[in-house]
Amino acid sequence: MSKFFHIKFTFVHNIWKLLQPFGKEQQREPFTEYMVRIRNDKRFDHIPSEVFEQWIYPHHGNEYTCRNYGWLDYRFVLIERQSWSTDQLMGIHIFSEYRLSFTGRDWPLKEISALEEDEEWWKKNGTWRVPPIIIDVNKFMMDAPQSAELTGPFQLVEGHTRYRNFRILMSNNEFVAPSHEVFVITTNNSDQSNQCKGY
């Protein structure tokens, strides 16, 4: 049986389908129930709860998420919490759907978009409250289907609003911390990368 199913000419791994929340939109199962179900499957114990809450649960059916990252076999990826410097963050790639909002314009402080608790966190700590998610493109590039838009060495997966706020603060010479927590999707060796391919 094929390990992939087909969504709008996008190849998506069956493992991604197992991570799908039950129901649609307003009828979607609550996140707490979703996590109980997912945590009963020990194959996904290595995926941090924050990654489910911020990305996989709310964006599972998103066309761009499916196309760019749904083909991975999430049993074998590593998701590491890392501390990155400001310079490292300035070099990550933004895929085409969001790129225009990051280029060719002035960024006044009033364009910062954040909940009140997040805005207070930014002011106090100079960084985001919840780490965004980044993929180490070079670890997966050889296995990616043509439908996936991946540009290395690192691409932002989730957290575009947080990253934009970071760039706005930088461009206005506001207080920004020297290091920032991020989740990085990677592998520990090339053999696992081949397993992610799923063929």
- Return the bridge partners of 13, or none: 4
How many domains in the chain? 1
The tokens describing 8, both together, are 């709008």
| pLDDT score of 152 | 84
117 pLDDT more than 70: yes
| pLDDT score of 25 | 75
| pLDDT score of 112 | 75
Give the three-class secondary structure for 168.
Answer: helix
Q: What is the CA radius of gyration of the chain?
A: 17
| Banded model confidence at residue 95, pLDDT cuts 50, 70, 90 | confident
| pLDDT score of 33 | 97
First to last CA, the chain: 11
| Cα 98 from chain centre | 13
Residue-averaged pLDDT of the chain: 86
| pLDDT score of 10 | 63
6 pLDDT more than 70: no
Range of lowest pLDDT (29-33, 52-56, 148-152): 148-152
Domain span including residue 114? 4-197
| pLDDT score of 105 | 58
| pLDDT score of 27 | 87
CA distance linking residue 97 with residue 99, whole number of Å: 6
| Banded model confidence at residue 13, pLDDT cuts 50, 70, 90 | very high
| Banded model confidence at residue 101, pLDDT cuts 50, 70, 90 | low
Q: What percent of the chain has pLDDT over 90?
A: 61
* Helix or strand run (H / E) with residue 87: helix 86-90
pLDDT digits (tens, 9 = 90+) for 121-158: 999 999 999 999 999 999 998 889 988 999 989 999 99
